[in-house]
A and B are shown apart, each in its own frame.
Chain A
Amino acid sequence: MGTLTTASASDDRTAAGPPASPLTSYLRDYWARVRSGEIGSLPAVAGLLALSTVFEILRPKLFLTKANIANLFTQGAGVTIIAMGLVFVLIIGEIDLSAGFTAGLCATVMTLLMTKEPGLPLPHGNSWYVGVPAALVTGMLAGALIGWIVSKVAVPSFVVTLAAYLAFQGVILMLLGEGNIVRISDPNILRLENTSLDPAVGWILYVLVVLAYAAVRILKVRRRAHSGLASEPPTLTAIRIGSLAVLLGVLVFVLNMERSLNPARSLKGVPVIVPVIGALLLLWTFVLNRTAYGRHLYAVGGNREAARRAGIDVTKVRISAFVICSLMAAVGGIILASRANSVDANTGGSDILLKSVGAAVIGGASLFGGRGRALDAVLGGAVIAVIDNGMGSLGWASGTKLVFTGIVLLLAAGVDALSRKRAAAGS
C-alpha cells in the first residue's frame, strides 16, 4: 500500500490467485476456518460416528440392525423438526422454551377436531384437512403472540417462553381433561410415522434428489464462472455430488431391505417421514441461504443495530422467527402424535424441548445468536436419536440415561462457547 495509484489493483488480485492445486488450497482454507472457530457440522458428524461405533461395539447385534436404523428416523423425527424451527429463534439470539408444549398444544387441537369421540371441547369428527391447518394456524398464532411480546414489549424471550411453557401445558390439560388420552384413528395422520415408501418409489426419489443436487451445484459453478468469479474446483464439486449419492444410496439400500421379524408381514422401504424431513430441510435451507429474508435473520442475530441502520424492520424479522419456530413446532407435534397414535397431557412435554434445543446446538447452531442452519437440526437430531436409541439398547437405567444426555448437551454448549471465544480471539 505504498502509493495512491489505482491502476495495478486488479492485476494484483488475480496474480495473488490460488497456488498449485486448487483442491488442496480449498482444504487448507477450510482447515483454517475450522481452527478459527468456524467448526460447522464437524462435532455433530464426529459425534454421530463415535456414538454409533461405541454402541455397535457394546451391543453388536442390536444397534446397527436394519430395523433399528429405520427406527432411528421415526424416533428422532419429532425432535428434529421442532429443532429446525428452534434454529430460527437461535439465529436471532433468542430462545423458545415453549416449543415442546406448543407442539403438544397444536397436536391436541388437531386430534380433538378429528376424533370421533364426542364430549370434548372442540367440534369433533372433522377430516385431516381441517385438523392439520388448524394445528398449523394455532402454532403460528402462538408464535406471533410470543414474538410480539418479546420484540414489542421487550420482555426477554427466556421469560416469555417459560411463561408460555406453563400456560400451554395448562391449555392442553383444559382441552383434554385430566388424565385423558385421545386416540388418533385418521389413516392419513398415522401414515406419517407408521408406514414406509414402496422400495421403487424410494429409488425414484433418490435419483431425483441426487440429480437435483448435482444440477444446483453445477449451475452455481457455471454462473460464478460466467460472472468471472472464483469458484470451487471441479474435483470438489464431484466429491460433493459423489458423497451425497453414495451416502443416500447406502441409506435407501439398507432401508429397502426386508426388516420385518414376522415372515407373514413384510416391512421394507424408506419411512415416509424421511422425505418429509428432507423437504422441510430443503425449504428452510433455501429460505436461510438464498433469500434476503434469510440474510436479514442472520443480520439481526449478528448485530441488531447494524441491521436496523441498514433499514431492516428488526421487529418484524424477530416476530417472524418466533412464528416459524412455533409453526415447525406444530408440524413436530403432528409427527409426535402420529408416532404415539394418540395425544395426552404429556405430548411434547417431558424432555422433548431439551432434546430439540440440544439437537440444534449439537448440530452447530449457536446459543449466542447469528449462527445456525436447518441442516444443524437434522444432524443434531440424528445424534440425539442415536443416543436415545443406543442407551435403550444397552438397557441403561433411566437415571444413567438422564445423566448421560445431560453431559452430551453440556458438551455441545461448551463446544459452542469455546468456538465463539476462539473466533472472537482470532479477529
Chain B
Amino acid sequence: MSAVSSEPTLSLKGIHKSFGPVHVLRDVDFEAHAGQVTALVGDNGAGKSTLVKCIGGIHPVDSGEIRYNGESVTIGSPREAASLGIEIVYQDLALCDNLDIVGNMFLGRESKRGVVLDDEQMEQMAQRTLTSLSVRTVRSVRQPVASLSGGQRQTVAIAKAVLWNSKVVILDEPTAALGVAQTAQVLELVRRLADTGLAVILISHNMNDVFAVSDRIAALYLGTTAAQVKTSEVTHSQVVELITTGGSDSLGRKDS
C-alpha cells in the first residue's frame, strides 16, 4: 500500500525482557507506522504476547528503547499506555456481558455531568465511532453485549480501542474464534482502522489473514526479531520459514 512514512509511530530498539532465569525477549527490534497494518507473527513461545505486554505497559522492559512519535518514552502501566494513545484489544476481549455496548465502550472512563453519568454524550460518541468505522452489523448501541455474535463482540472491542483518539491499536488474534464471514468483516475493519491513519499491530497465526490485510510483517523467532519486511516483498512460504527457522534465503536474523 502506501510508502513507509519517514518516522514510525512506534519503534522499539534492542528490547530485553526476562522473567527470572527465562530470557523471553532478546534484542528485539520492532516498528509500527501510521496508516499501516503491521503483522506480528511468530510461533507459540516466540515472545509475541510478552512484546505486546511490554508495549501495553503490563510488563516493564529490562533494557532497550521505546520511541513513540520520535520521542523516547517509558511505559510503566496500562494507564500510561492508554494516555499515550496505545490501546490493546486482547484475545478474550474482556467485555461485560451484562452491560450494553455503550457501557462497555466507556467502562472505567465514563463521561459525567457532576456525579451523574452523561449517557446521551456517551451514546452519541459510541454511535459516531461505530459509524466512522462503517460498522453496520450492530442494531443498537443499547443492546447488551450478551446478545452479540463473536464478530460483533470483536467489533465492539475494537471500537472501544479507537474511541479515545488512540494512535496505536494492537489486536491480539482478532479472528481466532470467528467463522469465515465474520473473519472477513473483522479483517475489513482492521484495514479501515489503518486507512484512518492509525498504526495497527495485528498478531496472528493465520497467514491468510496476514497477507490479506498487512503492509508489513515482523517475525519473532525464539525471542528475537527474525525479520521486518514489506508484505509485498515476501511469499507465504518465506514467512512460514521465518517463523519456524528464523531465516529464509536472503531474509533473516542478521541482514534484515
Contact = CB atoms under 8 A, between A and B. Distances in A.
A301 B99 CA distance: 10
B235 to A, nearest CB: 25
Interface residues of A, number: 40
Nearest to B116: A290
B245 interface: no
A306 B117 contact: no
Interface in B90-134: 90, 92, 94-99, 103-104, 107-110, 112, 115-117, 120-121, 123-124, 127, 131-134
Contact of B79 (A303, A311, A423): A311
B124 A302 contact: no
A334 B44 CA distance: 61
Contact of A371 (B98, B115, B120): B98
Contact of B107 (A4, A13, A295): A295
Interface string A209-242: 0000000000000011011111000000000000
A157 B99 CA distance: 24
Contact of B136 (A1, A295, A311): A1
Contacts of A229: 120, 123-124, 127
A299 B96 contact: yes
Contacts of A38: 144
Interface string A14-48: 00000000000000000000001010000000000
A426 B117 contact: no
Q: Is the interface of A mostly helix, strand, loop or mixed?
A: helix
B206 interface: no
A307 B124 contact: no
A303 B94 contact: yes
A303 B97 contact: yes
A227 B98 contact: no
A306 B95 CA distance: 6
B48 to A, nearest CB: 19
A36 B97 contact: no
B234 interface: no
Given A5-B134, A6-B132, A427-B147, A302 B99 contact: yes
A153 interface: no
Nearest to A299: B96
Contact of A227 (B124, B148, B192): B124
Interface in A294-321: 295-296, 298-299, 301-303, 305-307, 309-312
Given A299-B107, A303-B96, 17 more contacts: A6-B132, A9-B135, A13-B127, A36-B147, A227-B120, A230-B140, A291-B115, A291-B116, A295-B99, A295-B103, A296-B107, A299-B108, A301-B98, A306-B95, A312-B107, A370-B96, A427-B148
29 contacts: A4-B188, A6-B133, A6-B134, A9-B136, A13-B131, A223-B120, A227-B121, A228-B124, A230-B140, A290-B116, A291-B117, A292-B112, A295-B107, A295-B117, A296-B107, A299-B99, A303-B94, A305-B94, A306-B107, A307-B107, A307-B108, A309-B78, A309-B90, A309-B94, A311-B78, A371-B98, A427-B97, A427-B147, A427-B148
Interface of B: 78-79, 90, 92, 94-99, 103-104, 107-110, 112, 115-117, 120-121, 123-124, 127, 131-137, 140, 144, 146-149, 184-185, 188, 191-192, 195
* 5 pairs of A and B residues whose beta carbons are closest in the complex: A310-B108, A302-B96, A306-B94, A370-B98, A302-B98
